[in-house]
Amino acid sequence: PPISPMAIAFDAEKLTLSPEGPTLTRRMSDLEGLFRDHDAWSAAASGDDPIVYTVVSSPVPEVERELPQSITTIMPGDTAGELWMTKGHQHPDHQGEIYLALHGRGGLLMFDGERTEWLDMLPGTIGYIPPGWAHRSVNTGDEPYSFLAVYPGGAGHDYGWVLERGMGSRAFRAESGVDLRPYAE
């Protein structure tokens, strides 16, 4: 059944939603095949297997015509220099999405299969993901990076698309914040 109009309390300090839906926790071991340095990934995954990011959802369900939201928090860190990031995905039917940066420093890497785009994400930046662009978020700073996502409930997550094609670029730690390198290098 469709849900009723509702207010969701957003705590701008704690970055929580209330009421809250499911929370997802992704550890290093959940990110197989994504970092360039497989040995460094494997050592971290089979070692202390740190939490890389969490996703807290609103109670709005992920079903067609609803408009759910979530807050993703990526921990600061890197694996052999490659900045900690989300898995990244394409929406199977190419729906668009909106991100609003809330805390810390990050980047929004997008790839349409040919072109790559990078947006610096600082608190207050709205990042627009157009239809057909796969998207991955990266923590470029030294504290947790959090952002709000608003997306069509039927958007889905095609993770295989990114495993197959990559994201065009990879983001490495640099003194200036981030060094973007071609995916294959």
Note the residues at the interface with ligand S6P (CB under 6 A).
55, 70, 72, 86-89, 97, 135, 137, 149, 151, 155, 157
Closest CA to 96 of 137, 149, 144, 46: 149
* Residue 116 interacts with which of Zn ion, ligand S6P, none, CB < 5 to 8 Å by class: none
Residue type, 103: H
Q: How far is the CB of 65 from ligand S6P (least distance, A)?
A: 15
Residues in the site for Zn ion, rule: CB under 5 A?
Answer: 97
* Residue 69 interacts with which of Zn ion, ligand S6P, none, CB < 5 to 8 Å by class: none
* Residue 87 interacts with which of Zn ion, ligand S6P, none, CB < 5 to 8 Å by class: ligand S6P
Q: How far is the CB of 175 from ligand S6P (least distance, A)?
A: 27
Q: How far is the CB of 176 from ligand S6P (least distance, A)?
A: 25
* Residue 88 interacts with which of Zn ion, ligand S6P, none, CB < 5 to 8 Å by class: ligand S6P
Closer Cβ to Zn ion, 164 or 175, answer by number: 164
Closer Cβ to ligand S6P, 4 or 120, answer by number: 120
Q: How far is the CB of 175 from Zn ion (least distance, A)?
A: 31
